[in-house]
Amino acid sequence: MFEAAELGNSTDKATYKRESIKVREALLAAQHQLATANFSVVIVIGGVEGAGKPETMGLLLEWMDPRGIQTHALQDSTDEERERPPYWRFWRLLPPHGRIGVFAGSWYTDPIVGRALKNTNGAQFDQQLQDIVSFETMLSRENVLVFKLWLHMPKRDVKVRLEKLAATKKTRWRVSKTDWKFFGKYDAFREVSEHALGKTSTANAPWVIVEATDWRYRALTVGRALVDALQKRLAEAQKPKPQREKPPLPRPDKINIIRKLDMTQKLSDEKYEKKLLKYSGKFNKLTRAMYEKKRSLVIVFEGPDAAGKGGAIRRLTGAMDPRNYQVISIAAPTDEERVRPYLWRFWRSLPRAGRVGIFDRSWYGRVLVERIEGFCAPEAWQRAFTEINSFEDQISQYGVGVVKFWLTITSDEQLRRFKDRETTPYKQYKLTEEDWRNRARWDAYEAAACDMIERTSTEECPWVLVEANDKNWARIKVLKTVCETVERLLDR
Amino acid sequence: MFEAAELGNSTDKATYKRESIKVREALLAAQHQLATANFSVVIVIGGVEGAGKPETMGLLLEWMDPRGIQTHALQDSTDEERERPPYWRFWRLLPPHGRIGVFAGSWYTDPIVGRALKNTNGAQFDQQLQDIVSFETMLSRENVLVFKLWLHMPKRDVKVRLEKLAATKKTRWRVSKTDWKFFGKYDAFREVSEHALGKTSTANAPWVIVEATDWRYRALTVGRALVDALQKRLAEAQKPKPQREKPPLPRPDKINIIRKLDMTQKLSDEKYEKKLLKYSGKFNKLTRAMYEKKRSLVIVFEGPDAAGKGGAIRRLTGAMDPRNYQVISIAAPTDEERVRPYLWRFWRSLPRAGRVGIFDRSWYGRVLVERIEGFCAPEAWQRAFTEINSFEDQISQYGVGVVKFWLTITSDEQLRRFKDRETTPYKQYKLTEEDWRNRARWDAYEAAACDMIERTSTEECPWVLVEANDKNWARIKVLKTVCETVERLLDR
């Protein structure tokens, strides 16, 4: 793969001067169009050490308007980053629409270095590369142009460069021991990188391999490739979107996982009080242990309006030290959230180490309300199942517990609760027009919930269906399940 | 001051049951109104160790809807926090309009502990308290209701409580060595706290001192005080705002600091190239030293349209390692920014340790465009001078260098540049309707700039006026000034 980047290409001064002006004008024009476009650009700069990664970052800032570019030279993680799954640091830096984020030091760094230094085996490495492909595919579908540059330099040229730098006093400081150490591993890095590039060069996010020995040739190649990519993506963005047809509402199967629930289950007030005390105490102790062991927990609540999510959440929060949890209530996204990939707003709310994050509605909105109301394109909610599984898998792999509750009530019970809210003064604010509108689509929501549960209930991040016609029963089931989840988590 | 909270007040069970229902309903109703109001609530919970701070946090979450409340139990700073001025961690957590942020562990913690343990002297402590008053006054004027609770417990009651907890196995873990250590300093803490409360109990942000020995009395007192504060603030928010009269535009003095500049200064291309090379190299070295010493720099650019801010910025960025700076371009705020105090968006952009943050337009928008165009109330830009000085003072005290450039061009020169932009195809996008509109108010902007420079140029954070009719001259003056600023910074 790298042979094509070892041909000894170079650009003479005159050509560079002439051509670079053209490239630069084209880049500026594209960036100007980008500013008001509905997508963002992520540029990954990888390559051989010494092949000019910072120089290329500098080039982009010089040739374009630096005000529309954020550069991220990621090195060691901060402690806030270390308290979350590895990709958190990349998610938090994703640029909004209209802007460019340049990453030198990216999601490729750890996998490639780890494999080259033999800290991971081939299978682990391939899994990491597969995760990268999923991530970049998601980015690309969520309106991010992913542009990846690999700066290649043959071994002999790296050596010449290092020796040249080391030869004069003025530049000697630029060559560190690590540089020589990495040079010693050149062949291993080359092999590992070649494998990585092969596995991650996809239609959505192809690698551009750049012969980097001659800086003028490198600069022009990078600039031209970026102009092409930007212009192509801008042209796409301008194509009129096909009128989105409202797909037919899904209909539930006669027999499904929700209808099979025994909705008559209940708990007397007396038994409820006893169990509430028991499980609250237990949960309190468990959260203290979690805090000490720095293990976190994510709890998701979904279900029809008036199913009792708020009440169940209060029974959980009532048992916890208020310093150890956050309730994240999900409503319409803010404009900062709307101009980034869908899951961005959830990534930013992940709890710190040792804490509990309770989501009152969640990322599942995409396959529930957004699907049913047509707020997103069908392809968006269809692929969301996979994206959500990958998201939860990352959280869970990192050691965070995940449990998801679907609170079920019958249609009759919902009506009863709505009417109760309508007639009780201090409950009236809880009932809105939207609740009635959603109720009219009861069947569609039920069908969507069944799809969701089927597609996203995994062993590590299971859906727990809660029969919630009886509030006592539902609250105890939630508390008990959470306790069991934490126990398993602490045993892991 | 605390005598009134040592009267032995308590509430019996029956009264508590009856009254707490009322308080709770009133709180919920107020919170519901708050959700759509145009202000946010910051609750500070301070007080004697063991007087029930976490319990009070828990109470608020229990009595209100936890979905509208974010709790912050601040302990040690994270490394991301330590790389910024001390108040950064509080700024980043400020709630948006409609929501409540509860702080246990707040801007009071370090000053009080520091003084009680005699790590600071009286004068330093008073300065810290003065800073707190400024901060809270600003919050209050920027639509934040600041509600402060101080939970007091007489010494004998603290002792009884600690001994009681230590007596049984089940609760012994709740008493740590630190608790006894702090108890040993009870008198010192009492004296220091009394002083702090006296100095920081302002009309905008008064302290509510709560007798905390009896938990029922404490809970009801807290609840009632919060209901009162919320209802009062909600009533204010509903009052119709007086129609904002557009104040007359300011007019510049015949002789002013801008008109006195010698706008004929220029630099030949030859001299320019020489100096550019010299100062770029110097600046490059200096930024490397900054990075090593973890010193940061904030550079602000303001000036009329087409004054050459972009070009000057590029000469700076061209000299730096692209990994070490960010250009922050300030345009209209996002909706997340609009629902928080004005300076929030600038605090969130402060550079990490060792980095350079270049602001292309800045917090000075409030006293320039917002003042002239009437985007904010006159009282808002009038107090902004003080708020901005305090903001920059905090940055500078923390060890970050601050330098601010006002790029000046003459009206004729601006017209020439506008016309050039109009007729040069690839520059056309740079010229907008707004530029012409601003130009029509040239005198008003000049007068506002003079006010701004006069009110906010300090020794540590000076305004540097740059004669920018000649681009060569302007760019070199900027580069040279930045170098001098960094040199002073590294010497400090």
Contact A323 B360 (CB under 8 A): no
Q: What is the pLDDT, as a whole number, of residue B170? A: 75
A349 phi/psi in degrees, rounded to 5: -100, 5
The residue written with tokens 């938090």 in the block is A92
Contact A78 B73 (CB under 8 A): no
Q: What is the pLDDT, as a whole number, of residue B181? A: 87
Among A63-67, A214-218, B30-34, B273-277, where is mean pLDDT lowest? A63-67
3-state SS record for chain B: CHHHHCCCCCCCHHHHHHHHHHHHHHHHHHHHHHCCCCCEEEEEEEECCCCCHHHHHHHHHHHCCHHHEEEEECCCCCHHHHCCCCCHHHHCCCCCCCCEEEEECCCCHHHHHHHHCCCCCHHHHHHHHHHHHHHHHHHHHCCEEEEEEEEECCHHHHHHHHHHHHHCHHHHCCCCHHHHHHHHCHHHHHHHHHHHHHHHCCCCCCEEEEECCCHHHHHHHHHHHHHHHHHHHHHHHHCCCCCCCCCCCCCCCCCCCCCCCCCCCCCCHHHHHHHHHHHHHHHHHHHHHHHHHCCCEEEEEECCCCCCHHHHHHHHHCCCCHHHEEEEECCCCCHHHHCCCCCHHHHCCCCCCCCEEEEECCHHHHHCHHHHHCCCCHHHHHHHHHHHHHHHHHHHHCCCEEEEEEEECCHHHHHHHHHHHHHCHHHHHHCCHHHHHHHHCHHHHHHHHHHHHHHHCCCCCCEEEEECCCHHHHHHHHHHHHHHHHHHHHHC
Mutate to test the interface with A, among B301, B327, B340 (most CBs of A within 10 A): B327
Taking residues A53-61, report their average pLDDT: 92
CA dist A132 and A126 (Å) reads: 10
- Residue B30 predicted with pLDDT over 80: yes
Q: What is the pLDDT, as a whole number, of residue B171? A: 77
Taking residues A124-146, report their average pLDDT: 96
Q: What is the pLDDT, as a whole number, of residue A166? A: 87
Buried-state track B379-394, b at ≥16 Cβ within 10 A, e below 16: ebbebbbebbbbbbbb
Taking residues B265-285, report their average pLDDT: 96
Tokens of B437: 């509109």
- Give residue-wise pLDDT tens across range B279-308: 999 999 999 999 999 999 999 999 999 999
Q: Please provide the average confidence, as pLDDT, over all residues in chain A.
A: 93
Q: What is the pLDDT, as a whole number, of residue A154? A: 94
- Residue A3 predicted with pLDDT over 80: yes
Tokens of A82: 């270390």
Q: Cβ(A252)–Cβ(A443) under 8 Å? A: yes
Contact A67 B310 (CB under 8 A): yes
Å between B491 CA and nearest CA of chain A: 23
Q: Cβ(B98)–Cβ(B36) under 8 Å? A: yes
User: Residue A26: its chain B contacts at CB < 8 A?
Assistant: none
- Give residue-wise pLDDT tens across range B432-489: 888 999 999 999 999 999 999 999 999 999 999 999 999 999 999 999 999 999 999 9
Å between A247 CA and nearest CA of chain B: 32
Taking residues B24-44, report their average pLDDT: 96
Give the contacts of A433 (CB within 8 A, at least 6 positions apart): none
Q: How far from B52 is each of A50, A240, B166, B222, CA to CA, in Å? A: 58, 61, 17, 11
Q: Cβ(A178)–Cβ(A50) under 8 Å? A: no
Of all residues in chain A, the one with the smallest CA distance to B352 is A78
Per-residue confidence at B424, pLDDT binned at 50, 70, 90? confident
Tokens of A329: 């209530």
User: Residue B98: its chain A contacts at CB < 8 A?
Assistant: none
Per-residue confidence at A121, pLDDT binned at 50, 70, 90? very high
CA dist A381 and A244 (Å) reads: 14
Q: What is the CA radius of gyration of chain A?
A: 27
Å between A223 CA and nearest CA of chain B: 17
- Residue A170 predicted with pLDDT over 80: no
Q: Among A69, A80, A314, whose Cβ lies nearest the Cβ of B80? A: A80
Q: What is the pLDDT, as a whole number, of residue B247? A: 78
Q: Report the candidate in B465, B349, B476, B341 with the shortest Cα–Cα distance to residue B407.
A: B465
Give the type of residue at B145.
Answer: L
- Give residue-wise pLDDT tens across range A389-401: 999 999 999 999 9
| Residue B58: exposure state from Cβ atoms within 10 A (0-12, 13-18, ≥19) | buried
Mutate to test the interface with A, among B67, B172, B360, B421 (most CBs of A within 10 A): B67
Q: Among B29, B334, B360, whose Cβ lies nearest the Cβ of A335? A: B334
Contact B317 A78 (CB under 8 A): no
Taking residues B36-49, report their average pLDDT: 96
Q: Cβ(A99)–Cβ(A40) under 8 Å? A: yes
User: Residue A322: its chain B contacts at CB < 8 A?
Assistant: 54, 57-58, 61, 71, 73, 102
Q: What is the pLDDT, as a whole number, of residue B102? A: 97
User: Residue A78: its chain B contacts at CB < 8 A?
Assistant: 78-80
Q: What is the pLDDT, as a whole number, of residue B166? A: 87
Among A355-359, A373-377, B149-153, B452-456, where is mean pLDDT lowest? A373-377
Please give the order of strands across the beta sheet that includes B100-104.
Answer: B69-73, B100-104, B40-47, B144-152, B207-211
Q: Cβ(B336)–Cβ(A335) under 8 Å? A: yes
User: Residue A313: its chain B contacts at CB < 8 A?
Assistant: 66-67
User: Residue A66: its chain B contacts at CB < 8 A?
Assistant: 313-314, 317, 327
Q: Among A73, A313, A323, whose Cβ lies nearest the Cβ of B54? A: A323
Per-residue confidence at B91, pLDDT binned at 50, 70, 90? very high
Buried-state track A210-242, b at ≥16 Cβ within 10 A, e below 16: bbbbbbbbbbbbbbbbbbebbeebbeebeeeee
Q: How far from B420 is each of B374, B417, B441, CA to CA, in Å? A: 30, 5, 21
- Give residue-wise pLDDT tens across range B336-349: 999 999 999 999 99
Mutate to test the interface with B, among A28, A43, A67, A280 (most CBs of B within 10 A): A67
Among B23-37, B236-250, B387-401, where is mean pLDDT lowest? B236-250
Q: Report the candidate in A218, A232, A238 with the shortest Cα–Cα distance to residue A26.
A: A232
- Give residue-wise pLDDT tens across range A421-449: 888 877 777 788 889 999 999 999 999 99
- Residue A174 predicted with pLDDT over 80: no
A217 HSE (CA, 13 A, CB side): 18
Q: Nearest-5° angle of CA B174, CA B179, CA B184?
A: 150
User: Residue A71: its chain B contacts at CB < 8 A?
Assistant: 322-323, 326
Contact A322 B79 (CB under 8 A): no
Q: What is the pLDDT, as a whole number, of residue A227? A: 98
Give the type of residue at A285.
Answer: K
Q: Cβ(A175)–Cβ(A166) under 8 Å? A: yes
For chains A and B, count residue pairs whose Cβ atoms are closer than 8 Å: 92
Q: Cβ(B303)–Cβ(B369) under 8 Å? A: no
Q: Among A54, A79, A322, whose Cβ lies nearest the Cβ of B323? A: A54
Contact B29 A426 (CB under 8 A): yes
Start-to-end C-alpha separation, chain A: 42
Taking residues A121-150, report their average pLDDT: 96
Considering A163-172, B67-76, B157-166, B255-264, the range whose residues carry the highest mean pLDDT is B255-264
* Binding-site residues on chain B for chain A (CB distance < 8 A): 25, 28-29, 32, 54, 57-58, 61-62, 65-71, 73, 78-80, 102, 104, 310, 313-314, 317-318, 321-323, 326-327, 329, 334-336, 360, 426, 429
Q: What is the pLDDT, as a whole number, of residue B34? A: 97
Which residue has better confidence, B174 or B84? B84
Taking residues B226-230, report their average pLDDT: 98
